[in-house]
Chain A
Amino acid sequence: MTEADRTKDAAVDQQLLERWHAGDERAATAIVERHATALARFALSLGVRDDLDELVQDTFVRAFAALDSFRADSLLRTWLFTIERRLVLDRRRAARRQPDIVEVMPEDAATGFHALDNMVASETEERVRNALTRLSPMQRDVFTLRVQEGRAYKDIAEILGTTEGAARVHYHNALRAVKEWIHD
C-alpha cells in the first residue's frame, strides 16, 4: 500500500465514521462492505477455519462499540485487524482451557482450505501454502499481511504489536525461507 493509498483510505473511512457518528446507519454498511472480506481473509491466514462469519461480526461489533478509542493516526483496517487478531488469540486461549474442543494449531495457519480445495489447487499454490505453514507464527503473520493484504510495515507493526524494524526483518527472513522451500 502506497502512502497515497493510505491517505485516500483514511479519508474515506474517516468520512464514513463521521457520518456514522451523525446517525447515518448506512455508513455502517459501507464500512462493513469495505473491510469484511479482508478481515475474513486475514482470519483464514491466521488459521481460523470455523465460525468465520461470527469472528468477523464480533470484530465489527467490538470495533463499533469502542469507536471512541480509535485513533485517527491509525488506519481503520489496521485497527480492525488488530481487534480480530486479539479475538483469535482469545479464542485459542479459551480452546486450550477446554480440552474437548480441537485446538487450532499454528501449523494449521495460512491454509484455511478444505481437502477439495487442495485437490484442485495448483501444485505451485500447494507448495506456497506448505511453505507458509513452516514459517514461525510471527514470520507468517508479517509475510501474509505484507504480501497478501498489502499492509505497510507501520501497520503490520501496529497489528502484531511489534516494531517496524522487526517487521522488516521478519518479512525478509520469511521471503528467503519461502523462496527456498518453493524451489526445493
Chain B
Amino acid sequence: MTECSNVDVQDLLPEFAAGELPARERESVEMHLASCAPCRDELDVLVAVLNARPLPPVMNVAAIVAALPRPAVASPVKADTPAPFRVIAGGANDRVPSMQQVARARRSQPSMFGSSLMRFAAVLTLVSAGGLSVIVANRSSTALSDTDAASVVMADSSYMVAVLPEPYAPGTTPVQAVVSVAPSVLPIQELSDYSDAELALLLERLDAWDGAPPVDPVNGPPTSSPSSDTVIQGGS
C-alpha cells in the first residue's frame, strides 16, 4: 500500500481521531479520507492506540493542593487588620498567613497561665539585666509603632515587650510602663485574648449578674441616670 503524501492531513489525524478538530478542518480531513486508503488505515491505528490509552486512578486533588507551597504574596497585611499575627516592628511577617498557619499558630499558643508566666519572666529578666527600658503594651496600642527607638523583642497574641536602646537621653529614667485598655474597647475574640485581671473581672461580674437581660455581663450594668422620680439626697 502506497503512503499518502498529504503531510497537512497526516498532521491533523491524531486530533481528528480524538474528535478535537474544529468543524472546518474536520470536514477537510473527512473529504481527504474518502479518497485516501493509506490515511484511513493510519486513522484506524490511531483510534486503536487512543482506545488503548491507560486509565489512571482518580487523583486526590485536595491532598496534592495541601502539599503545595503557599504563594508568596507581596502585599503586606494592613495595619488595621485585627489579626493576632500583626507585629508593630520587625517586619518578619510579610506574608498573609493561611488558614492552616492560623490553626497551627493557635494550637501552639501557650495557655493563659503559661502565657502570664512567660510575660512575667521576660519582664523580670529584662529589668534585672539593668539599663533597659521595658514597655509592656497591650497589642491594641498603636503607641509603639510611633516609637522609632523601640524594637519588639517578644510578642504573643496579647502583649508585646519592647526594649529601648541605650544610651538614654540625659535626665531620663528607665520606666516600666503598662498600658492597659478598658474592657469596653477590647474586641470580643477568644477568652485567651483577655488578661487574667480582665477575666477575673468578667467572672466577678458574671457571679454578681442576676440574669436580667439589659445588663451587660462584660461592661456591667448601665449607669443609672437621674430621672424625674429619683430623689437626690445629700449635699450641704
Interface, chain A (partner B; CB < 8 A) = 1-2, 4-5, 20-25, 28-29, 32-33, 36-37, 40-41, 43-45, 52-53, 56-57, 60-61, 64-65, 110-113, 121-122, 124-125, 127-129, 132, 143-144, 146-148, 150, 175, 178-179, 182
Contact = CB atoms under 8 A, between A and B. Distances in A.
B56 A44 contact: yes
A32 B22 contact: no
20 contacts: A1-B20, A2-B25, A23-B71, A25-B65, A25-B70, A29-B61, A32-B65, A37-B56, A41-B53, A44-B56, A56-B59, A61-B67, A61-B68, A64-B68, A128-B51, A128-B52, A146-B14, A179-B42, A182-B45, A182-B48
Interface in B5-53: 14-15, 17-18, 20-22, 25, 41-42, 45-46, 48-53
B64 A129 contact: no
Contacts, number: 117
Contacts of B53: 41, 148
B54 interface: yes
B68 A148 contact: no
Given A21-B72, A36-B59, 6 more contacts: A28-B68, A32-B64, A41-B55, A53-B59, A124-B48, A150-B20
B207 to A, nearest CB: 45
B2 interface: no
Contacts of A32: 59, 61, 64-65, 68
A5 to B, nearest CB: 7
A144 B18 CA distance: 13
B69 interface: yes
B177 interface: no
Contact of A179 (B45, B50, B57): B45
B65 A44 contact: no
B60 A128 contact: no
Most chain A C-beta atoms within 10 Å of own C-beta, residue among B20, B21, B65? B65
Nearest to A57: B64
B186 interface: no
B20 A147 contact: no
Interface string B129-149: 000000000000000000000
Nearest to B70: A25
B48 A128 contact: yes
Contact of A37 (B18, B59, B65): B59
A146 B63 CA distance: 30
Contact of B21 (A2, A21, A65, A128): A2
A57 B67 contact: yes
Contacts of A40: 56-57, 59
